[in-house]
Amino acid sequence: MRNWLIALGFALSMGPAFAPTFAEEPARPAATPAAKADIPEPKVFTSDHAFKLRGETIKYKTIAGETYLRDEKDEPTASIFSVTYVRSDVASPAQRPVTFIFNGGPGSASLWLHMGAFGPKQVITPSDATGVGAPPYTMQDNQNSLLDVTDLVFIDPVGTGYSRPLGDTKGKEFYGVNEDADSIAEFIRLWLTENGRWNSPKFLAGESYGTTRAAALTEKLQGGWNGIGLNGVILISAILDFQNARFAPGNDSAHIAFFPTEAAIAWYHGKANKTRWNNDFDAFVKDARDYATDTLAPALIRGSTLTSMQESEIAADMSDYLGVSAKWIEQAKLRVDPTRYRKELLRDEGYTVGRFDGRYKGVDSEGTADSPENDPSGYGMDVAYVAAINDYLTRELKVDFTRPYKVLTGEPGSQWNWSVDGGGWPAYVNVTPWLGKGMRENPDLKVMLATGWYDLATPFFGAEMALHKNGVVLDRVQFDYYDAGHMMYLTQQDGIKLSDDVRAFIKDAH
């Protein structure tokens, strides 16, 4: 209908092909092109603060505002919103470490790491994997903040938070593995210039797809003659090689990558055969990794050439790890899809388990479906974070935008360009080679992997599989594990451990 109306309007504007019999109207002046909508100047909100962090008084300046990206004609193309925390009571700020932090999606704002892990304020969630319930939620000074060892810059990519395209630019121009990394790299360059921090030790910290972005940024920032050297890359709940996380016919890598996490969740809920491993979780997880590569992988490769007896024996063995019936595993042809597993593991008890965190339990309306209605580890905590970031930005930092703060929308992800090399060939995204290249070319670059045992979104073994190859320099990779899921900082003790691990990593890497 819209196209028809446009065509009709165009035809009418052309006028009739014959002269009217009545008096002619005066000639009208030629139409002029519509002027571009005015783009307002970027808004910035600054304030000074102080709080006591682990017994030390920290004074810092907060800068919440927009940074405009520009094209070759110096026209604004996008506004990236960020919140910067710069410690103001140090002697040599120009050489103080700075860490650029972002979440994933693609299409997620940075509120999760901001309000849950590393910012100066923290929203409190139950440590026992139960839901947060209704407001008000508790916010407090964050004793896990990293402001004692590094300045912090929380970045919302285009299409998230308050960040958006400007002028005639479409959001799609920033939605893609390369497009996204290019825009964040340009933001970092601008931030370093505007804040006089080119010689500061530099760190990247990403969660989930944010780890994909961080790996891509090692190439965008360090590659070429205009390179920006990095000291460290912090990967929280990493997804680097998407072959290890995408379930499709013929791709068995994902089944291998997810098996140890499924086993760990079965152990947590008391469904694994613990006596077989003498109630030793560490030995159990190590064995699950070995089983995935040494027994499950060859069996999946064999496919239908396995005999019925061989398939039954493997299914029975897998049942000890996974806590579901051998018959169900055999019917699945040894390929235990995590979505179906989340429904099956506690089906007889009337529960489903979480995707982001398998410790969480949910209740569906009925128990015969093959997949859960929703993710209890998502709806069990997200409302507290949404309330916290909006309350904090508007009430405490006085950010007065009237447009909504976009937490996680489908717009960027639905338009994402997943091509890495631009060759057009079908392929899984794998950014680990960029990370390996960055480590080989920068002998001081270190990497930290922080991963939860119970994460069925970005499983720990999938990240290990990616980092164990692709040219990564393993003796400069730090592996840290947590008794939680995708957002390990939801649990108090693991939030403390994450903070301690990252703090030690930053101190060691500069």
The Cα–Cα gap between 326 and 435 comes to 40
Report residue 228 as tokens.
């920006």
Helix (H) or strand (E) holding 66: strand 56-70
For 71-193, where are the E strands, in sequence order?
Answer: 76-87, 98-102, 121-123, 139-141, 151-156, 164-165
Q: What are phi and psi of 113, to 5 degrees?
A: -70, -30
Using alpha carbons, list the distances in angstroms from residue 273 to 27, 245, 466, 473, 508.
90, 26, 29, 36, 40
Angle 95-98-99 from CA coordinates, rounded to 5°: 160
Residue 238, beta-bridge partner list: 208
> pLDDT digit of tens for each residue in the chain (510 aa)?
333 333 333 333 333 332 333 233 344 444 444 445 689 999 999 999 999 999 999 999 999 999 999 999 999 999 999 999 999 999 888 899 999 999 999 999 999 999 999 999 999 999 999 999 999 999 999 999 999 999 999 999 999 999 999 999 999 999 999 999 999 999 999 999 999 999 999 999 999 999 999 999 999 999 888 899 999 999 999 999 999 999 999 999 999 999 999 999 999 999 999 999 999 999 999 999 999 999 999 999 999 999 999 999 999 999 999 999 999 999 999 999 999 999 999 999 999 999 999 999 999 999 999 999 999 999 999 999 999 999 999 999 999 999 999 999 999 999 999 999 876 677 899 999 999 999 999 999 999 999 999 999 999 999 999 999 999 999 999 999 999 999 999 999 999 999 999 999 999 988
Q: Where in the chain is the domain with CATH 3.40.50.1820?
A: 44-243+382-508
Architecture of the structural domain at 44-243+382-508 = 3-Layer(aba) Sandwich (3.40)
Please tell me the pTM assigned to this model.
Answer: 0.91
Contacts (Cβ under 8 Å, ≥6 apart) of 495 = 116, 117, 144, 488, 489
Is residue 196 a contact partner of residue 144, using CB atoms and an 8 Å limit?
no
Q: Give the position of tokens 């920032």.
A: 221
The amino acid present at 47, given as its one-letter code, is S
